[in-house]
Amino acid sequence: MRRHLEMRREARRLMLAGACLWLASGPAGAEEAHLPFFRAHRDWLLRAFESLERAPLPPDATARAWSFDPFADESAAQRLAAVRASLDTATTLGDLEVFRVALDSLLDDAARAGARLDSLDWTFAAHLRTALEVTLAAPADLDVERVEAWLDGVPVARHELGPEERAALAAGGIFEVVHRVVEPRAQALEVRAWTRGRAEPSSTMLVVDPTPDRLAIVQLHLTDARAPARLVLSTLGGR
């Protein structure tokens, strides 16, 4: 019985994944009218796929993820050090010419790497759907116990923070309040945060207007339990 349920769950996951991939890539031709249900329920499918149960990560997954440093490129560092050394040891015009050639080569490679990163950014943006992410940070003395969020007066998130989440916030971490697909239009966002010892929450209200096919990020920095949080707004996937 358990095996049967697992097979059904995996089949549902694959079906939703296939639907989401089709939605991301779009139809092969504008004149085609395949899968009208998927077109009419794009947001529902994406949310349903995001809510599927994921396989648990290994215990050390977080530690291994944080140990990766994309800027610690040993070969690039060695090359940069070599170019700098060629200048430090230059004593003749010929030595300076060697330094100039090495520096030009290094700058050309850096420009090509930058162009490649820009290309990857645009490719990533082309596959994004309009989404909203709201995070909360607060100092240890506030001790946030509950967070709720509304979009246009409709509740979209409600969290009772556990001991580990409260400890992470106190240590300088951030709490993800909302991460969901949204419509690319102006909408009223309200986030309420209850702190230890206070019956009334801090209420932060703003209008978000997500850019189509981008991730709108709202970072809330709560510093006073009686006042709205400080806002930091950004967008991922564009320039």
Kindly state whether residue 51 falls inside one of the protein's structural domains: no
Is the pLDDT higher at 138 or at 36?
138
Residues 115-131, mean pLDDT to the nearest whole number: 74
pLDDT, residue 78, reads: 81
Q: Are 129 and 50 in contact (CB under 8 A)?
A: no
pLDDT over 70 (residue 71): no
Q: Provide the CATH number for the domain around residue 145.
A: 2.60.40
What's the distance, CA 202 to chain centroid? 25
The answer to whether residues 162 and 226 belong to one domain is yes
Kindly state whether residue 71 falls inside one of the protein's structural domains: no
pLDDT, residue 68, reads: 47
Domain of residue 228, residue span: 131-236
Q: Among residues 105, 125, 145, which one ends one of the domains?
A: 125
Provide the pLDDT confidence category of residue 116 given band limits of 50, 70 and 90: confident
Residues 80-97, mean pLDDT to the nearest whole number: 86
The answer to whether residues 142 and 107 belong to one domain is no
Kindly state whether residue 40 falls inside one of the protein's structural domains: yes
Q: Quote the CA–CA distance of 225 and 195 in Å, as a whole number.
A: 7
The answer to whether residues 140 and 120 belong to one domain is no
Least confident of 79-93, 166-180, 217-231: 79-93
pLDDT, residue 239, reads: 45
The answer to whether residues 209 and 226 belong to one domain is yes
pLDDT, residue 73, reads: 59
Kindly state whether residue 56 falls inside one of the protein's structural domains: no
- 77, 98, 99, 113 from 104: Cα distances, Å: 16, 10, 9, 14
The answer to whether residues 90 and 121 belong to one domain is yes
- As a whole number, the mean pLDDT across the chain is 78
Kindly state whether residue 208 falls inside one of the protein's structural domains: yes
Q: What is the pTM of this model?
A: 0.49
Residues 56-68, mean pLDDT to the nearest whole number: 57
pLDDT, residue 118, reads: 78
The answer to whether residues 110 and 168 belong to one domain is no
User: How many domains does the chain contain in total?
Assistant: 3
Residues 153-178, mean pLDDT to the nearest whole number: 91
The answer to whether residues 222 and 151 belong to one domain is yes
By percentage, how much of the chain surpasses pLDDT 90?
A: 31
Kindly state whether residue 63 falls inside one of the protein's structural domains: no
Kindly state whether residue 55 falls inside one of the protein's structural domains: no
pLDDT digits (tens, 9 = 90+) for 8-22: 555 455 555 555 544
The answer to whether residues 154 and 180 belong to one domain is yes
The answer to whether residues 15 and 91 belong to one domain is no
The answer to whether residues 83 and 177 belong to one domain is no
The answer to whether residues 159 and 232 belong to one domain is yes
Kindly state whether residue 172 falls inside one of the protein's structural domains: yes
pLDDT digits (tens, 9 = 90+) for 19-52: 554 444 444 444 455 556 666 666 776 777 777 7
The answer to whether residues 135 and 230 belong to one domain is yes
pLDDT, residue 31, reads: 42
Is the pLDDT higher at 150 or at 13?
150
pLDDT, residue 114, reads: 81
